Structure formats: structure tokens, C-alpha cells
Amino acid sequence: MNNANKATLQLQLDRSANVRAVVKQFYIYVVLALIVLVFSVLKLDKTPLFGRGSFLSPDSVINLLRTAVPILTLSGAFTLLMISGYIDLSVGSALSLSAVVFAWLILNGFSFWPAILLTLMMGIGLGAINGYIVMKLRITPVIATLVTLNLFKGIARLIVPKGVSAIKSSATQTMPGWINDFARKEVFLGLPAAFWIAVLVIIVLVIVQRQTLLGKYAAAIGGNRLAAELSGINTVRMVWLLYIIVGFFAALAGVARASYMSLGDPLAGEGMELDCIIAVLLGGTAFSGGEGSVAKTIVGALIIACVTVGLMTVIPAFWQTVAKGSVLVGAVVLNHLLVREKVKA
Amino acid sequence: MDTKQVQKLLTGGKMSDESFITLFMIGVLVVAFGLASSVVPNFYKPQNMLNLITNNWFVVVLGIGVTFLLITGNFDMSVGGNIALTGVLAVYFCQGVNSAPNPLANGLGLPYPIAIGLALLCAMGVGAVNAFFIAKLKVPSIIVTLGTMMLARGAAQVITEGAQRNNGLPDVFGVLGSLGIPGTTIRLPVLVMIALVIVAFIVEKRTVFGRRIYLIGANPEAARLSGINVARYLTALYILSGLLAGITGVLLASETKSGMSSRGTGYEFDALVVTLLGGVSIAGGFGSVLGMAVGTIILSVVTSSATGLLLSVDWQFILKGAVTFIAILAQRFALDRRKG
């Protein structure tokens, strides 16, 4: 009798643990589906489900994916860094600076390839600076990257001439029209090259996280840095490399943003660090690192894109900050519940 | 004096590391001021020296809360948003009911003291929300307070519809911000700042509460085991930081007789920078309010001499960043040398 009771209890425990595991595995897809559903049903009285002006119309979907390119490009690398237990708050400024530099190069007669290569090299440099300050000078990541956030922002604003808001056509210089091609011109399925590159980046980073040593090392460092060091991982070099990867993709995202807007706006990446954090938290990566999933972060990034674009059509602009803040706090709570459950199970 | 004596003076004695760093930063301040005076015309004039202190009263007031929190190893990035929210709320509570057709000119029509009290309560509420997430749910403070910063500023934007409220205010609203010592540029907010620094200094050095903050920062586990309710201390500190941001918000709103949703943008970074300049270390239980005040003057010497040299405002971001890094590294170097 007693044994039977125990067995039932064990079964119940197993079952609830299983339920939790399943919830943890799939909730993010449900959240995304629900958000898409809500926004597409909202205007059903005015237009049919896939009709012109609705959330799911081909135009609107293409537009959504095009505007989501920067966060799709960046959030995967950001996840790897957070898995290793580190953070980079300067990504938004690095993105802005890259957008400004890329636009400045194009405006001053560079053609596409040299401009993008130089910008990406600069991105590597920005990441290397962050990595150096955090890993070599041993300044706390939050403080170090908050300071570089302001450094990069200052440089971006200095590059933009006095009296104008961004790098763009002026009386003496004209921005070539082809700057748009990268992030707007259709390549395949109505979507531009920048989007397909972002998809490629995501695939590569998912493989890096799941199949390569870098991915395993990142999780090991985030799980227990000392243990990782003692088992022979060069943590300084690994995390530095992750900072460089983040800087590189911040620059790529900046190029995409500059190309999309056909100007170099020093505010282009404002708040991108928060978007990345939200995406990572929604994706269930633990705050302290050690585990996480690039693929789920990307779903989180899509959620942010849907919420941003969807809300714009429903509520006035001055509600946006509250909305995003609520999403962030919601993501924090959700993440707390899920990660806690993991610890207990 | 031979070198050994100098070394003994620097390394030995009874001076604590905190006092040493504060003195070190005062030395840096003197050098920075000397450099600035030799490059920027009229920099050494008394009026300018006074301005260096009085123009940044809000950074010092915010810095008090941020310093205590950073000593415990936690951030508060919500103060800038909180300033905007409190200022906007104070205006909204005060504006007359149905006084004008413009919706932004209508408020709740509460008496001024009640309006201020409610606004300050809301500011402390933001602090309480921070504390709940950080002390109870154990979420990293940087993420939580960035979130509440957005919520607070977002709420301010909603109340002002993305702009500002400045119509239909009673005259009494502007009094607090305009009071001052006659014949000088010293106004009430500066006096508030001085009073708060003195109180904070006494709390830090002379009370059990103050000393326990250091213990929590140095070793939270040891603090918990020795019977300190760490969560309660963090809650008190976050509510205090919220209150200080609220006071700043109310005073700034009174000074300009308006509630702007964009007010206080970036102040959270300034407060953090001066705290770091003052030698507070997030690594554990180290730093002082007095050092933070010195840090504020250093920052204002640097930024105002940059303005004096006609550098554009955009340089300030770079200067603040560079100064912070140099300060952190210099302090670490000095402490290492001192330990020998």
C-alpha cells in the first residue's frame, strides 16, 4: 500500500516534471503564435486575414522581416556571450557607430565592398576593445560596456557634421541610391540580401552553439568559470573572441540598418542592447549563463519584431516605451519562472 | 623628508583605504583643476568654481543612492526615468481640473503639498518594484533597473503624450525651484544637496545601518549568516534611491515649471560615473559618499573645461568614458601600490 502510494507520487512528480519540460521547450513558439494571432485578428473587421493592410499580408510580413534584420543578425552572437556569463551593453552604440561609418564611407565615394569590409573590420576592433577591457583590465562587464556604450556613441555623434542629424545627402554631397540595395532590393521571395545573410548567420551560430568547441566552452565558462579554467580552457581568449564576434555582428547589423534607412543615424542602434536582452531572456537563457539556445533567442527576436511593428498600428507612438518596458519585465518574470523550475527539476 | 618616510606616510598609518582613495581623488581634482585653469581662460575665478559645484547638484543627490547600492554590489539605472516620471506626475497632480480645452493642460487639481507627496510616493514605488525583483526574485539589478527605467520614462511619455505639461500650474509650483540665498547663485536644491551629503556621510560612518551596507557588499553570505536581513537592506536602499530621484524630479520640475518626459535622460550614467570616480568598487563593500562628491567635481571640471575649450557637446560622452576608465585603473594601481 505504502509502496503503491510512493509509486503514484513518483509518477505524478515525473509527469509534472515532464509537463514543465514540455512547457519550457515549446512555450516560446506558443507565445509567438499567440502574438501573431492577436495582431492578425485585431483588424479582421476591416480587411481579410491576408488582405491588404492586415498584419499577415505579404507586404506587411516582408516589411516586418526587413525591419527585423538588425536584431536577427545580432541576437545570436549576443546569446553566445550571455551563455558564457558575460554581457555587452555597448552593442546598440556599436551598431549606430557602424551605421554612421558605413554611410560616411559610401557618401565619400567608396563602393559597396570596401565600405562594408572596413565597417566590419571596425566592428571587430570595437569588440576587441570591449574584450580587452573586460578580460585583460578586469573591469566588471556591465561597467566596462556601459562606458564603451558612451564612448562609441560620442564618436558616432562626432562623425556626423554639426547642424545635421545624420550622415545623408547634403548640398555638396549626394548619397548614392544603391546604398539601399543591400537591405531593400529583392533577392529571393521578396526579401533582400541582408535578410538572407541574417538567416545564414543564424544557421551558422546555431551550429556553432550546438556542435563546436566554442559553443561548449561558452556554456562551460558560464556554468563555472574556475572549473572551465582548471580543465584547460583559455577563458580569457574564449570570452575575448565572443566579444569580437558580437562586435562583428553589431557592425553587420549597423550596415543593414544604414542601408535600410539610406543614411547614417547616430541613434540607429539606440536601445538595441535591451532588445537583445529581451530576446535572450524570452529564449530561456539563464541570467548567469551556463545554458541557453541561439535558436530560441531568434524566436524571441521575432516576438520583439512582431510586438514593435504590430503595436505601431494599434497604439500611439508615446505608448511604445511603456510597451517595451512591460515586455522586458514580463520576459524577466517568465525567465525567472522557467529557470527556477529547471533548477528544482 | 627621505623617501622612506614618504613611503611610510603613504602606506602605513591608520588611514583606511577609503580615506586614502578619497584623498587620492582630491589630489587628482587639484591637478585637473590646475590644468584646466592654465588652459581655459577665467577658469579659476571664484564664480566659476562655485558653478562647478552648484551646477551638478542633481548628480550628487542621485549619486548618494547609487553609491550605497553600488557598495552592496547593485546598480540602479532607473533614476533618470524616475526623475522624468516624478516631475511629470507632480505637474499632473497640480494642474487644474477642466481648466482648458487642451487635454495636456488638465490635471487632478490637488493641493501642492499633496501633489508633491504623492509624486514622491510614486518615486519610492519605482524603487520598491526594483527591490522586489532584485531582493526577492534575485534577478540581476542591471536588467531589472533598465526595465523599470523604460517603464518610468514610458509612463511619463504616456502622461505627457510624448511631450511636456506646463500649462495651468498654480504659482506655488515654481517656488521650491526659485528659492535661494539672496545675492548669490546658491539655490535651494544646492542646499538640499549639501544637507543630504552630510546626512549620508553620518549614516555611512557612524550608524550600524551604514556599516552593515559595507558588510553586505564585501560578503553577502557572511552578512546573511551573521543575522542581517540582506533583502530588507536592499529594499530600503532601493526605496531611498527612488526617493532621491523623486526629490530631484520635483525640484527640477519646479525650477522649470514644467513636466518633461525626456528630463533626466542619461542622468543614471552620470550618477554611476561620479560614483566610480569617487572610488566605489562593485567588487565588494568599498567606497564613500564623500569620494562620490569629489568625483562629481572632477567630472564637472573635465566637462566644463571641455565646454570652455569650445569642444562640441558630443565630446562629453567620450570624455566621461575616458575619465572613468582612467580613474578605475588609477585607483586600482594606487591601492595595489599601497598594499605593497
Rounded distance, CA A184 to CA A308, Å? 19
Question: Could you write out the DSSP letters of every residue in A224-266?
Answer: -HHHHHHTT--HHHHHHHHHHHHHHHHHHHHHHHHHHHTSB-T
Q: Which of B75, B162, B317 lies nearest to residue A154, judging by beta carbons?
A: B317
Closest CA to B165 of B88, B252, B218, B94: B88
Cβ-based contacts of B314 with chain A (< 8 Å): 154, 157-158
A158 to B312: CB separation less than 8 angstroms, yes or no: yes
A118/A107 Cα distance (integer angstroms): 14
pLDDT at B338 over 80: no
Domain definitions of chain B by residue range: 57-264+281-288
Q: Which three cell numbers stand for residue A20?
A: 514543465
Q: Report d(CA B82, CA A129) in Å as an integer.
A: 32
Do residues A264 and A258 touch, judged by C-beta distance below 8 A?
yes
The 10s digit of each residue's pLDDT in B58-115 is 999 999 999 999 999 899 999 999 999 999 999 999 887 877 777 777 788 888 889 9
pLDDT of residue A345: 36
What is the ipTM metric for this complex?
Answer: 0.84
Q: What is the mean pLDDT of residues B272-280?
A: 90
**Least CA distance to A319: which residue of chain B?**
B158
Q: What is the pTM of this model?
A: 0.88
Closest approach of chain A CAs to the CA of B156, in angstroms? 9
> pLDDT tens for residues B177-190?
778 777 777 888 89
| CA dihedral (B143, B145, B146, B147) positive or negative | positive
- Residue A4: the pLDDT is 66
The x, y and z cell numbers of residue B267, run together, are: 542622468
Indicate if the pLDDT at residue B272 is higher than 70. yes
Q: What is the DSSP string of A183-228?
A: HHSEEETTEEHHHHHHHHHHHHHHHHHHHSHHHHHHHHHHH-HHHH
The Cα B66–Cα B278 span in angstroms is 12
**What separation in angstroms does the CA of A323 have from each of A91, A131, A279, A307, B144?**
22, 33, 15, 9, 15
**pLDDT computed for residue B1 by the predictor:** 44
Mention every residue, 6+ apart, whose C-beta is less than 8 A from residue A40: A49, A54, A55, A56
Section B48-56 average pLDDT: 86
pLDDT tens string B219-254 = 888 988 998 999 999 999 999 999 999 999 999 999
Instruction: Give the gap in angstroms from C-alpha A231 to the nearest C-alpha of chain B.
Output: 25
Give the separation between CA A242 and CA A244, rounded to whole angstroms. 5
Which candidate, B193, B179, B169, B186, places its Cα nearest to that of B247? Answer: B193
Per-residue pLDDT for B263 more than 50?
A: yes
Mean pLDDT of chain B: 87
The reported pLDDT for the residue numbered B80 is 94
Retrieve residue A205's grid coordinates: 551560430
Contacts of B144 in chain A (CB under 8 A): 329, 332
Give B91-97 contacts, CB < 8 A, sequence gap 24+.
B91/B165, B91/B166, B91/B169, B91/B173, B91/B253, B91/B258, B91/B259, B92/B159, B92/B165, B92/B259, B93/B118, B93/B119, B94/B169, B94/B170, B94/B173, B95/B165, B95/B167, B95/B168, B95/B169, B96/B168, B96/B170
pLDDT values of chain A reduced to their tens digit, one per residue, 345 residues: 566 666 776 666 677 777 777 777 788 888 888 888 888 887 767 777 676 667 788 888 888 898 899 999 999 999 999 999 999 999 999 999 999 999 999 888 888 899 999 999 999 999 999 999 999 888 889 999 999 999 999 999 999 887 788 888 777 787 787 888 788 887 788 888 889 999 999 999 999 998 898 988 998 998 888 898 888 888 999 999 999 999 999 999 999 999 998 888 988 888 899 999 999 988 888 877 788 889 999 999 999 998 888 887 778 888 888 988 898 888 888 888 777 654 433
Q: Interface of chain B against chain A, CB under 8 Å?
A: 75, 133, 137, 139-140, 142-144, 146-151, 153-155, 157-158, 160-162, 261, 269, 272-273, 276, 282-283, 312, 314-322, 324-325, 328-329
Contact A270, A197 (CB under 8 A): no
Contact B165, B92 (CB under 8 A): yes
Question: Which DSSP state fits A137?
Answer: S
User: Is the C-alpha dihedral spanning A50, A53, A59, A64 positive or negative?
Assistant: negative
Indicate the residue of A137, A154, A326 with minimum beta-carbon distance to B315.
Answer: A154
Instruction: Looking at the complex, report in whole angstroms how far the Cα of residue A92 sits from the nearest Cα belonging to chain B.
Output: 14
pLDDT bucket at B284, cuts 50 / 70 / 90: low
> Reduced to 3 states, what is the DSSP secondary structure of residue A162?
coil
How do strand A191-192 and strand A186-188 relate by DSSP bridges? antiparallel
- The CATH architecture assigned to A59-336 reads Orthogonal Bundle (1.10)
Instruction: List chain A residues with CB under 8 Å of B147.
Output: 325, 328-329, 332
Interval B260-274 mean pLDDT:
90
